[in-house]
Amino acid sequence: MASAKQQENLLLTEHFTWPPISLIDDIINAVNEVLYRCTDTFEQGLSSADPALLGFADRYAAENRTPEKDDDGSNSFPEAKLEIEEGVLKLETLMENAVDKNFDKLEIWTLRNVLCLPRGEEELGRWVRLGHYENLQIPPKDSQLTPEALYALRRKLVETQKLNTALVAEKKRNEAQIARLRSLLQPTVAPKLETSPNGHSEQTPASFAFLTHTPAAQSLGIQPLPQTSNTTSTTTQPLTTHTTFTTSQLPYLRQLLEGLQPHLATTSLPSTGKQGETEELARERRVYVESQSKRILEKRGVDTRDGVEGIFEGTRVRSDEVRGLESVVGAMAWGRKVDGVKKEDDEVKIENGDGDGSEDAEGEAMDTS
């Protein structure tokens, strides 16, 4: 349970709508801002003043020191700026300590004597009723209220909100459905046109208007629905811009067209015929097929640096390998041709009875083998 001092602070905070300590803090912050502005102005004044007027020239003379000369030839005191900054910082620290000490006393005195309840009546906070609590009926404490009961009430509230949302949506759907059914049962009144000779509006029969608006339905006691006019249709208004004005502007339009015709030949976009479009499509198709073929062949390990035309399954044969194979085949064909010629010569010699020829043939045969 909160103590008497805490109850007092809660009561004052609720009454003022702000904590009592915040008022003292705002006062102290405002005083500190004024203090900092004073020290900044004091430092700017000392920095802009002549160091000789601040006693630095007398100090140099007492110490038998010669001041330095700046570009303008006047005396320069480099340590003047540093001493001014240190002095202002010390003054600011001294004033901050004085403000903290004195305003701490103000805070304690204000909280004890001003922003508080009367002395000796600390228990008064339990019996004070503020203005916004008047005529407020506090329900009696329910001893049977458990966390489970609170959870059940929350669930009931959520389900009630969901049911309310569903009922509102169903109401809107029913209203739309009723509007559509009314449009089928009752005839719509056509808009009244100002140009009509008789000036009477015509009725457009609805699909199921015979159920309520025919004499047979009325004889059965069916009351017809009230006729409603089409709210979206409006009476036609005469044209403000008529054909006379349009025809009067035709000469001016012809003049503009004649002035623009010389520029049409130079500024018009080049027209592309069907033949150019067909060639472009064929070129794009060819490039696509070649790129896809090259990608597939590269996946299979085929060298495609020299192109992909005429490549089938297997490794690509280089041009130097083809020339080597052609030379080998040519040499083999030439050797077979020479052997055939020699055999024919040997047969002719044998038929003529030339023994040397047989020996030569055997020798040649031996050499050949």
The dihedral through the CA atoms of 78, 82, 88, 91 has a sign that is negative
Phi, psi of 114 (to 5 degrees): -110, -60
Structural domain includes residue 99: yes
Structural domain includes residue 322: no
Q: Which residues of 350-360 are buried (b: 16+ CB within 10 A; e: fewer)?
A: eeeeeeebeee
Identify whether the C-beta of residue 189 lies closer than 8 Å to the C-beta of residue 230.
yes
Identify whether the C-beta of residue 26 lies closer than 8 Å to the C-beta of residue 34.
no
Structural domain includes residue 97: yes
pLDDT at 311 over 50: no
Maximum mean pLDDT: which of 89-98, 225-234, 347-356 = 89-98
The partner residues of 68 in beta bridges, in order of sequence, read: 76
Structural domain includes residue 96: yes
State residue 308's pLDDT score.
55
Identify whether the C-beta of residue 99 lies closer than 8 Å to the C-beta of residue 35.
yes
Model confidence over 183-205: pLDDT tens digits? 877 665 555 554 444 544 455 55
**Range list of β-strands (E), 24-87:** 68-69, 75-76
How long is the chain?
369
Structural domain includes residue 15: yes
Structural domain includes residue 230: no
Output 137 or 214, whichever has higher pLDDT.
137
Answer whether 0.75 is exceeded by the pTM. no
State residue 347's pLDDT score.
67
pLDDT at 343 over 80: no
State residue 53's pLDDT score.
75
Classify residue 1 as exposed, middle or buried by CB count within 10 Å of its CB (0-12, 13-18, 19+). exposed
Tally of domains in the chain: 1
Structural domain includes residue 358: no
Model confidence over 10-42: pLDDT tens digits? 888 888 888 999 999 999 999 999 999 999 998
State the residue range of the domain holding 120: 7-132
Structural domain includes residue 26: yes
